[in-house]
Amino acid sequence: MLYGVTDEQVSSLLQNWKVGVVGLRPDFTLEFVNAEAERIDGRVAEELIGRSVWEVLPNVVGTEVEELIRLAMETRKGGTAPLYRTSRPGRTIFLEIRVQPWGKGVALFILDVTNWVQLESEKERLEEKYMLASRASPDIQYEWNIKDNIWDSQGGHESLYPGIVTPTEIGEFTARIHPDDRERMNTLFRQTLLSGKAHWAFEYRVNRNGVWANVEDRAFIVYDEEGMPVRAVGVMKDVSETAARQMEITRLQSELIHVSRVSAMGTMASVLAHELNQPLAAIGSYLAGAERLLEEADEIDRELLLQAVREAHAGSSRAGKIIQRLRSMTMKAEHKRDWTNISKAVDNAVSLALIGRTELRDTLSIDISPKLQVQADEIQIEQVLLNLIRNALEANEEAGRSGVKISARELSVDMIGISIADVGNGIPADLQPKLFDFFVSTKDDGMGIGLPISRTIVEAHGGKISIEDREPYGAVFRLMLPINGH
Ligand code: ADP
């Protein structure tokens, strides 16, 4: 007996313990059943006490539990039975049974581990499901133990990381990142882990047997109580094909933009010839005048000669500028983003749109803060503006009215809006839904390329283009462009 512990305390403990206790007399009849044992059995103590254990628990007969009971009774040695499985109406229960000498008889200590077994088997089922899913998917499911810098995956990584056996040092992976991406990725991983962010999503290139593969890496980061990153659990996806397709689309887009620019230039070529005619004719006549002065006059009027030469010079630079503009418009531009001043881009587009219609300059009103700028491909943005301004001028011309209003302003901290409003006949309702489709044109010499190209450019910049009717007549084209580009 423990020092100072009373019999009542012991029996109260046995009675209320969450372990089933069944006491057996030397003749194997039950002398004690506690509350938990009643619960497990489903009958009350009065129904059980005095009856033989083999009669009360017929299922244990012939099992290891019977052997243990008999052994304990004979040799006074206890033992634990392996997991004992039995059934209750409508369900299976799992018991862990310990048999122990108890006074002159033995006691069974019975732990109901049904919930635990169920949890275990559910865990196994989930683990198996996870295994199968990760094997079925081409994606790599990984776990990066950040403290120990160990990388582990359920498999599948062989496709992207041939030759790597997991678990392994994280360095094995970072060493395979493309040299151009490696430093950036090391910094990004470190920064993300230190920032306390819950997840990351990165794209980078890795060496797969000498070929660069594009990887999309998304992970959740697990932190400890002190906020230190412990693990990153995530998925890696080989997106090489998607990346190649995206590159092809970008290439085709820039090709298309190039083609449209060239074709737009084609339609402008005759107008341009007319435009160049004027400065060239001026240069010719000033030079002829100078020649005459030099040939005929006895005394050279230097002032007059200088003026003729200056005029000729000015004409040639005007002609040069027209040609230069045309060349930069037709040059195939790569995907690039620079700070583009909106006011300047509009001025350039207006100059181009006015070629052959310089008399319309005064019908344009421009309201743009000289400071507005966006990160964009300047030539492409000018191309969009040129398309819209030319359309506006042509719409006005067709309606026999004049006036185009071009304005731009900041819509929010990260977005600017540009609008081009004309007083033409507006867009017919049936044309509106397909306005931005290729080859939709109502003009005799129209190509129907301007608007779809404009939309492609604007969307490639992460922006939007839309159109509205204007009262009492005319159309407004609105552009929305993110200031920080895309
Ligand atoms: P194109 O000018 O070569 O026809 P676009 O793609 O630039 O090609 O324009 C397609 C069509 O959209 C035009 O033919 C015209 O019918 C209509 N459209 C474009 N802009 C306007 C406008 N400002 N007002 C009225 N209709 C317009």
pLDDT digits (tens, 9 = 90+) for 143-158: 999 989 899 987 778 8
Helices and strands in the chain, H and E counts: 13, 19
Question: Is residue 124 in a domain?
Answer: no
- Res. 260: pLDDT tops 80: no
Q: Are residues 458 and 486 in the same domain?
A: yes
pLDDT tens-digit map of 35-51: 999 999 999 999 999 99
Q: Are residues 359 and 423 in the same domain?
A: yes
Q: Are residues 75 and 206 in the same domain?
A: no
Q: Are residues 464 and 355 in the same domain?
A: yes
Lowest mean pLDDT among 54-58, 250-254, 304-308, 358-362: 250-254
Question: What is the 3 state secondary structure string of 204-217?
Answer: EEEEECCEEEEEEE
Q: Are residues 353 and 447 in the same domain?
A: yes
- DSSP-derived secondary structure for 81-135: -S-EEEEETTEEEEEEEEEEEETTEEEEEEEE-HHHHHHHHHHHHHHHHHHHHHH
- Res. 75: pLDDT tops 90: yes
- Res. 328: pLDDT tops 80: no
Q: How far is the CA of 426 from the centre of ligand 1 (A)?
A: 10
- Please check whether residue 263 is in contact with residue 447, taking contact to mean a CB–CB distance below 8 angstroms: yes
What's the pLDDT score for residue 21? 95
Q: Are residues 470 and 342 in the same domain?
A: yes
- Res. 331: pLDDT tops 60: no
Q: How far is the CA of 442 from the centre of ligand 1 (A)?
A: 7
The residue whose CA is least distant from atom 11 of ligand 1 is: 441
- Please check whether residue 293 is in contact with residue 302, taking contact to mean a CB–CB distance below 8 angstroms: no
Residue 425 CA, closest ligand 1 atom number: 25
Ligand 1 binding pocket includes 446 (Cβ within 6 Å): yes
Q: Are residues 393 and 484 in the same domain?
A: yes
The residue whose CA is least distant from atom 8 of ligand 1 is: 448
What residue ranges in 369-470 does DSSP mark as E strands?
373-376, 404-412, 415-421, 464-469
Number of structural domains in the chain:
4
Q: Are residues 343 and 461 in the same domain?
A: yes
Give the global pTM. 0.44
Q: Are residues 345 and 416 in the same domain?
A: yes
Distance CA 197, CA 49 (A): 63
- Res. 233: pLDDT tops 80: yes
Q: How far is the CA of 383 from the centre of ligand 1 (A)?
A: 15
**Structural domain harbouring 17:** 7-116
Q: Are residues 253 and 325 in the same domain?
A: yes
- DSSP-derived secondary structure for 37-49: HHHHHSS-HHHHT
Selected residue with higher pLDDT from 76 and 244: 76
Ligand 1 binding pocket includes 341 (Cβ within 6 Å): no
What's the pLDDT score for residue 7? 85
Beta-carbon contacts of 386 under 8 Å, excluding residues fewer than 6 positions away, are 264, 349, 352, 353
Q: Are residues 329 and 350 in the same domain?
A: no
pLDDT-derived band at 317 (thresholds 50, 70, 90) equals confident
Question: Is residue 156 in a domain?
Answer: yes
- Res. 23: pLDDT tops 90: yes
Residue type, 200: W
Write down which residue in 238, 272, 297 finishes a domain.
238
Distance CA 164, CA 173 (A): 9
The residue whose CA is least distant from atom 20 of ligand 1 is: 391
What's the pLDDT score for residue 14? 87
